[in-house]
Amino acid sequence: MNPLGWLILAILAAYGCAGVAAQVRHRRRGRSSGVLSWCFVPIVLVCPLLVPSANVGLRAASAFVSGDIAFRMVDLFRQWEILTQRGAMREYFRFLVPFPVLSVVYPDHKLRLRQRQRPWPAILRILGGAAGFLLALLAVRSLSDVAMLRSNFALNHVAVLPIFLLGVESLSYAMCGLERLAGFDTTPIIRSAYLSRTPAEFWRRYNFRIHDWLYRNVYQATGGRRHPVRSILYVFLVSGLFHEVMFTVATSRLTGYQLVFFTLQGPAALASGHLARLARRGGTVGNCAARGATILFMALTSVFFFDGVRRVFPFVYAAPSPLP
């Protein structure tokens, strides 16, 4: 079968499993049906394994779709009882539609613009975001032409970070423009993450939609404000496990680096209050110190995260990684 055919098969299998899970939850009564429906979530996550391991990029694309489906399943199963029995299945399948992108908290995915707006601001967002993403793609590919970067991983990594932020921020704005053009009341998935003064602020700005899912499905479910330290650590543990599974499925290689990266973010988020106070009370020097500490921490720890990125997109780095 053509590689694209395997990708389509993997995506259809993931949606099929999600559909069966809903049927089990809807038609059968009792705790056993609820437990059985939850068992389909990990099955959805491994559907990308249907794509041959040689096609790493297609596996990663399938893993992204499966991850989106799994997030939606968990969020809706958690609050299944609040849906009317007549409308539960209809709402479930509408929620599985992967647009807006990563809008995985029910019922926020249905938020619409209250008034019809002119299309040009959204169109400009799409064009500007697409241009920024293309510029980032060309820039990262040009790194291999610099001899110093080919021989020095540290410099290569420092050069990759701003290009990566430019790429994902631009893609985020382009997608937001497309969503608003379709009438959805959304904000960009990533909102100026480069302005973060603390690690905690970085994670609030970076992938806001998944942050919202983690807040509702992990932070609040594990104690929330009553046990903030425990809940924050659980949030990063769940995020680390999810990323570890997704990169393992995509690359057919278990490294543990994603879990290490996100485990390190938990204590940093807990310590962010001290940096925030330094930024507020220390004037310009304190503000620069807080931002500098945040940038340094994210730059050092992100080596673990980008190990998975380079395995999916080998062209991102020109120098070999020091990680085994």
In DSSP notation, 280-313 reads HHSHHHHHHHHHHHHHHHHHHHHHHHHHHHHHH-
Residues 175 and 35 in one domain: no
Domain boundary among 63, 98, 133: 98
Residues 136 and 67 in one domain: no
Domain boundary among 67, 98, 129: 98
pLDDT at position 238 over 90: yes
Domain boundary among 45, 66, 98: 98
Q: How far does Cα 211 stand from its chain's mean position?
A: 9
Mean pLDDT, range 108-112, rounded to an integer:
82
Residues 93 and 127 in one domain: no
Residues 66 and 136 in one domain: no
Residues 153 and 210 in one domain: yes
pLDDT in tens, 162-194: 999 999 999 999 999 999 999 999 999 998 898
Domain-embedded: residue 103: no
Domain count across the chain: 2
Model-level pTM greater than 0.85? yes
pLDDT at position 85 over 60: no
Mean pLDDT, range 135-161, rounded to an integer:
94
Amino acid identity, residue 296? L
Residues 10 and 88 in one domain: yes
Domain that holds residue 79: 3-98
What residues pair up with 112 in beta bridges, in sequence order? 184
